[in-house]
Amino acid sequence: MENCIFCKIARGEIPAKIVKETDELVAFNDLSPQAPHHVLIIPKQHISTLAEINENNYELMGKIVLTASEIAKELNLEGYRIVANCNEIAGQSVFHIHFHLLGGRQMHWPPG
């Protein structure tokens, strides 16, 4: 999508610290890290929110989780959290599906 910031990162039009990239996905460091390790994993295909997942694109979500787990291993994370905020009420601010991989510090539950 033309003006989507994460599509621009996926196309290499704006800089990001890329951690991993495949034909379908890109993982890069979050600009505003909430933990010592904070990586965003996105599909290159523009999908706005988790509410748009359907039978044609759900496999991408599994690939994102697999990629998150591979990155966590590469970072030697003892434990980690994967978060996907769906819609503004849940804290989504960028409307291109992304999974946050957070690790490197003690986490607490429930989140705010």
Indicate which single residue of 19, 26, 27, 28 sits in contact with ligand DGP (rule: CB under 6 A).
Answer: 28
Cα separation, 59 vs 37, whole angstroms: 25
Indicate which single residue of 31, 51, 66, 107 sits in contact with ligand DGP (rule: CB under 6 A).
Answer: 31
Cα separation, 88 vs 104, whole angstroms: 27
Cα separation, 2 vs 79, whole angstroms: 36
Cα separation, 2 vs 96, whole angstroms: 12
Q: Give the footprint of ligand DGP on residues 32-61 (CB under 6 A).
A: 32, 40
Contact region for ligand DGP (CB under 6 A) — 22-30, 52-60, 73-81, 103-111? 22-30
Indicate which single residue of 18, 30, 45, 61 sits in contact with ligand DGP (rule: CB under 6 A).
Answer: 30
Asked if 28 contacts 16 with a C-beta cutoff of 8 angstroms, the reply is: yes
**Is 92 near ligand DGP (CB under 6 A)?**
yes
Burial of 106 (0-12, 13-18, 19+ CB in 10 A): exposed
For ligand DGP, which residue has the nearest CB? 31
Would you call 46 a catalytic residue per the annotation?
no
Q: Which residues bind ligand DGP (CB under 6 A)?
A: 5, 16, 28-32, 40, 85, 91-94
